[in-house]
Amino acid sequence: MTFWIAAALLMIFAALFVLTPLFAVREKAENPVELDKAVYRARKAEIENDLAIGRIDGETARAAIAEESRKLIAAVEQSSGSSLPSLALSRVIALAGVISVPVVAVALYLHSGNPQMPDQRLAARQGENLESQRIEELVARAEAHLAAKPDDVRGWQVLAPVYSRMGRDRESAQAWANVLRLSPQTPEVRANLAESLVAVAGGVVTEEASRLFNEELETNEASAKARFYLAMAKGQEGRHEEAVERWDELISGGSDLSPWMEAARTFREESARLAGIAPAPIDKPGPTAEQVEEAASLSAQERNEMISSMVANLAGRLEEDPSDREGWKRLVRAYIVLGNNDAARASAEKAIAANAQEAAFVAEMKSVLGQLQAEGSSPPPAGEPSSEAGSGSNAQ
């Protein structure tokens, strides 16, 4: 009740401040017609004085007085009846505004206000529920904290992977560089910095990134991330036999549950194809006996058509569900094995566009694109299907 009494008193005082000057105009303001008459009398007295001292003659004086009389008549006719309606209209508008504003304000407050709610500080509200805040708000708070405390290594270590997930690769690289500067013993810090540099370079393993990966291996020989990118670097340099050796070392030390295994096998097969090395066997469930017997009875063209149909079906499913990242990896790998690098490149680009928020997956696909671009238009070894052949099969 106290709140409403205070609000009513404030409303009354505000209305008085607005209306009092407006309703006091009649008593304080002078009539404009009386001002015009006073001006006429003053001008007429001046003319008569000029006539008396001989400055003007009688004819000129009569003409001047007649002109002043004409001006007075015109002013009276113009202002007659105009001041009162204008003043009355102003009062009506002011009164309507003074009444409508508090009425609308009270209605809105009754709808959405709560006078019993206690005060809440902004800092307390922001810190109450971090899960309800947007990632941009959390990052902004972390950046403000690090601007005040730039030597907080834990803050940079937390912020760096967040930058990476947001696609802000340059900021991620700078954050990891700060971690390396402040705490060089942090596990995987060199590999993480190098991976961010690879992302900044569009999937290309630069010299600086290779140097950091090698430094990581000097202190951590089991670093799968460093081994992965160094093997990829060999392929990008065109040293495919060395790349195959590095991929085999990496694959032999992992398992099917390793998140990088699918990509490693894909790169290994591509480097093996370019180096003329037989593909490595992959321990995966094979076809049933009936499927083997059926495939054996098909001609080479029919088998190609069957493979192309399977790849086309997978591509069709991915068009309907582009969030299937493992499906995209299988499709790109299938095109690479078929020698259809153009289709592999197009599929990788579609996969990136459909899963732009998945930084790790995007980096993997960009790495595939980087290797395909580094290979250029190199012809496949003898016995391997050409890109045109792969395209033709897909078209069938």
Rounded mean pLDDT, 351-361:
84
pLDDT of residue 296: 54
Helix (H, G, I), strand (E, B) or coil at 246: helix
pLDDT above 60: residue 355: yes
92-101, 134-143, 298-307, range with the lowest pLDDT: 298-307
Concatenated DSSP letters for 322-336? TT-HHHHHHHHHHHH
Report how far apart, in Å, the C-alpha atoms of 292 and of each of 219, 295, 297, 306 are: 48, 5, 9, 13
Name, in order, each residue with C-beta under 8 angstroms of 315's C-beta and a sequence gap of 6 or more: 331, 347
| Residue 380, C-beta contacts closer than 8 angstroms, at least 6 positions apart | 273, 274, 339, 386, 387
DSSP 8-state assignment for residue 81: T
Task: Please give the pLDDT value at position 86.
Answer: 59
Element (H, E) at 41: helix 32-52
Mean pLDDT across the chain, nearest whole number?
77
Would you tell me the crossing angle of helices 58-79 and 32-52 to the nearest 10 degrees? 180
Does position 386 have pLDDT exceeding 90, yes or no?
no
Q: What is the mean pLDDT of residues 104-122?
A: 68
pLDDT in tens, 359-368: 778 888 888 8
| Confidence at 29, pLDDT banded by 50, 70, 90 | very low
Q: What is the mean pLDDT of residues 366-395?
A: 52
Tell me, what's the pLDDT at 65?
A: 86
The pLDDT of 37-41, averaged and rounded, is 83
DSSP output for 195-244: HHHHHHTTS---HHHHHHHHHHHHH-TT-HHHHHHHHHHHHHTT-HHHHH
Instruction: Count, in order, helices (H) and strands (E) of the chain.
Output: 20, 0
* d(C-alpha 256, C-alpha 82), whole Å: 94
Two tokens at 101?
């504003």
Going 81 to 85 to 88 to 90, the CA torsion angle's sign is: negative
Any residues with CB less than 8 A from the CB of 4 and at least 6 apart, and which?
none
User: What pLDDT is stored for residue 241 in this prediction?
Assistant: 92
Indicate the pTM of the whole model. Answer: 0.44
